Protein backbone atom coordinates (compact mmCIF):
# COMPACT_ATOMS: atom_id res chain seq x y z
CA UNK A 1 0.00 0.00 0.00
CA UNK A 2 1.45 3.33 -1.04
CA UNK A 3 0.85 6.35 1.15
CA UNK A 4 -0.55 9.44 -0.53
CA UNK A 5 1.53 12.59 -0.39
CA UNK A 6 -0.35 15.57 1.06
CA UNK A 7 -1.13 17.96 -1.73
CA UNK A 8 -1.08 15.14 -4.25
CA UNK A 9 -4.85 15.31 -4.60
CA UNK A 10 -7.03 17.61 -6.63
CA UNK A 11 -10.03 19.54 -5.29
CA UNK A 12 -12.36 16.53 -5.58
CA UNK A 13 -10.05 14.45 -3.36
CA UNK A 14 -8.91 12.27 -6.25
CA UNK A 15 -5.25 11.55 -6.86
CA UNK A 16 -3.68 13.43 -9.71
CA UNK A 17 -2.48 11.02 -12.39
CA UNK A 18 1.23 11.13 -13.27
CA UNK A 19 1.96 13.95 -10.81
CA UNK A 20 5.61 14.42 -10.01
CA UNK A 21 6.67 14.23 -6.37
CA UNK A 22 9.45 16.68 -7.13
CA UNK A 23 6.93 19.36 -8.06
CA UNK A 24 5.71 19.33 -4.44
CA UNK A 25 9.15 19.93 -2.95
CA UNK A 26 9.71 23.57 -2.07
CA UNK A 27 12.62 25.24 -3.81
CA UNK A 28 14.41 25.90 -0.50
CA UNK A 29 14.44 22.20 0.34
CA UNK A 30 15.80 21.43 -3.10
CA UNK A 31 18.61 24.00 -2.66
CA UNK A 32 19.50 22.58 0.75
CA UNK A 33 19.52 19.06 -0.69
CA UNK A 34 21.86 20.13 -3.49
CA UNK A 35 24.20 21.85 -1.01
CA UNK A 36 24.33 18.77 1.23
CA UNK A 37 25.02 16.58 -1.79
CA UNK A 38 27.90 18.83 -2.89
CA UNK A 39 29.36 18.90 0.63
CA UNK A 40 29.16 15.10 0.89
CA UNK A 41 30.91 14.66 -2.46
CA UNK A 42 33.67 17.06 -1.35
CA UNK A 43 34.06 15.12 1.89
CA UNK A 44 34.33 11.80 0.00
CA UNK A 45 37.24 13.26 -2.00
CA UNK A 46 39.08 14.51 1.11
CA UNK A 47 41.96 12.93 3.01
CA UNK A 48 39.81 12.70 6.14
CA UNK A 49 37.40 10.35 4.37
CA UNK A 50 40.30 8.13 3.32
CA UNK A 51 41.56 8.11 6.91
CA UNK A 52 38.15 7.08 8.19
CA UNK A 53 37.98 4.30 5.59
CA UNK A 54 41.45 3.05 6.61
CA UNK A 55 40.52 3.01 10.30
CA UNK A 56 37.24 1.24 9.56
CA UNK A 57 39.06 -1.49 7.64
CA UNK A 58 41.54 -1.88 10.53
CA UNK A 59 38.66 -2.27 12.98
CA UNK A 60 37.05 -4.90 10.72
CA UNK A 61 40.36 -6.80 10.55
CA UNK A 62 40.76 -6.65 14.35
CA UNK A 63 37.23 -7.98 14.87
CA UNK A 64 37.86 -10.85 12.43
CA UNK A 65 41.15 -11.74 14.13
CA UNK A 66 39.82 -11.31 17.70
CA UNK A 67 36.10 -12.14 17.76
CA UNK A 68 35.78 -13.06 21.46
CA UNK A 69 37.39 -9.89 22.89
CA UNK A 70 35.40 -7.82 20.40
CA UNK A 71 32.09 -9.35 21.49
CA UNK A 72 33.01 -8.98 25.16
CA UNK A 73 33.96 -5.33 24.67
CA UNK A 74 30.66 -4.68 22.88
CA UNK A 75 28.72 -6.48 25.60
CA UNK A 76 30.49 -4.52 28.33
CA UNK A 77 29.88 -1.23 26.54
CA UNK A 78 26.20 -2.10 26.13
CA UNK A 79 25.82 -2.95 29.80
CA UNK A 80 27.54 0.26 30.91
CA UNK A 81 25.44 2.41 28.57
CA UNK A 82 22.32 0.59 29.68
CA UNK A 83 23.09 1.32 33.31
CA UNK A 84 23.89 4.97 32.57
CA UNK A 85 20.72 5.57 30.59
CA UNK A 86 18.42 3.38 32.66
CA UNK A 87 15.61 5.41 34.11
CA UNK A 88 14.44 4.60 37.58
CA UNK A 89 10.74 3.87 37.64
Residue 52 has pLDDT above 50, yes or no: yes
Does the pLDDT at position 1 exceed 50? no
Of the candidates 74, 44, 43, the residue with the CA atom closest to the CA atom of residue 59: 74
pTM for the model stands at 0.49
- Please list, in sequence order, all residues whose beta carbon lies within 8 angstroms of the beta carbon of residue 62, skipping any fewer than 6 positions away: 70
**What digits encode the pLDDT tens for the residues 3-25?**
455 555 555 555 555 455 556 66
Which pLDDT tens digit goes with each residue over 35-45?
Answer: 999 999 999 99
Amino acid sequence: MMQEIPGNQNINGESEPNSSVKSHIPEQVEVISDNISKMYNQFKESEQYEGIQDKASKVKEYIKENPVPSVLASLGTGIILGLLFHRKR
